Amino acid sequence: MATNMNMQETSRLILALRAKGWDDTSINDLILYLETGDERYKPTAD
């Protein structure tokens, strides 16, 4: 069963990733990957 994140949960995720040192492009790419499954946006180990 798929569930949707609400805006508060999404905001907390973004803030947590920023606190971990992620830049906005990496955060956007992660969200795109999660929503689309497109391999272009899949996170890679740095």
The pLDDT tens digits for 4-32 are: 888 999 999 999 999 999 999 999 999 99
Q: Is the pTM of this model over 0.75?
A: yes
Hey, how many other C-beta atoms are within 10 angstroms of the C-beta on 35?
9
Ramachandran region, residue 8 (left: φ > 0; alpha: ψ -120 to 50; beta: rest) = alpha
Count of positions (residues) in the chain: 46
The span from the CA of 38 to the CA of 41, in Å, is 6
At residue 1, the pLDDT reads 55
pLDDT band at 3 (very low <50, low <70, confident <90, very high): confident
At residue 2, the pLDDT reads 61
